[in-house]
């Protein structure tokens, strides 16, 4: 009986620290996604533009910056490093699936997956990892300050991830993004033409 109680307790802890925050994050993504695409059927032109602009901006903001909101929830609920990485990647993962699916209307599956390397899509994916590194350091700072722990705030892995991501984003945006776009375009021609 004790083993069964321990197993049930483990499942409850896993639900509390991982499943519920992941469901909240994914639910927010799906609701914003559904509202945004449903707003295209609003017949009043002014309401349509107002609705799509506001919800579209919220949806875009959530896709790009959701890690800053969800990562601390995983962290302070006691999720492990792997659980935080997986949980904070959910929205980016589902957004990538949505983007690939959207592109399969026009291109092959391989070309649609390659579309994720397009500058905007690639930077959103990379940004999520950089924000995870920043969030880790921010959470460590908060834990150290408010829980009076001797936790190190800046550690090599999160700092390295932030620096590498920042370097990649600067490279992809250098010269207005032209250099990276031509590299993307040339690689596309090599692979698919």
Q: Can you give the pLDDT at residue 4? A: 43
Q: What is the pLDDT of residues 39-56, one digit of tens each?
A: 888 888 888 888 888 998
The helix/strand/coil state of 44 is coil
- Global confidence as pTM: 0.84
Q: What are the extents of the domains in the chain?
A: 2-192
Structure confidence at residue 10 as a pLDDT band (50, 70, 90):
low
Q: What is the pLDDT of residues 95-137, one digit of tens each?
A: 999 999 999 999 999 999 999 999 989 999 999 999 999 999 9
Task: Say what percent of the chain tops pLDDT 70.
Answer: 94
């Amino acid at each position: 009986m004790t083993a069964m109680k321990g197993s049930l307790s483990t499942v409850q802890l896993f639900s509390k620290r991982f499943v519920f925050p992941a469901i909240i994050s994914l639910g927010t993504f799906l609701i914003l996604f559904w509202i945004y695409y449903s707003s295209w059927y609003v017949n009043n032109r002014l309401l349509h533009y107002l609705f799509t602009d506001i919800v579209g901006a919220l949806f875009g903001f959530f896709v790009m910056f959701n890690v800053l909101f969800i990562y601390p929830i995983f962290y302070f609920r006691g999720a492990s490093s792997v659980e935080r990485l997986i949980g904070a990647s959910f929205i980016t993962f589902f957004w990538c699936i949505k983007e690939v699916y959207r592109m399969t209307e026009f291109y092959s599956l391989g070309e649609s997956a390659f579309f994720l390397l397009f500058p905007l899509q690639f930077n959103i994916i990379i940004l999520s990892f950089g924000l995870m590194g920043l969030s880790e350091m921010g959470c460590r700072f908060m834990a150290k300050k408010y829980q009076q722990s001797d936790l190190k705030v800046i550690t090599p892995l999160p700092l390295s991830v932030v620096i590498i991501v920042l370097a990649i984003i600067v490279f992809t945006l250098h010269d207005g993004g032209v250099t990276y776009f031509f590299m993307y375009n040339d690689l596309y021609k090599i692979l698919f033409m």
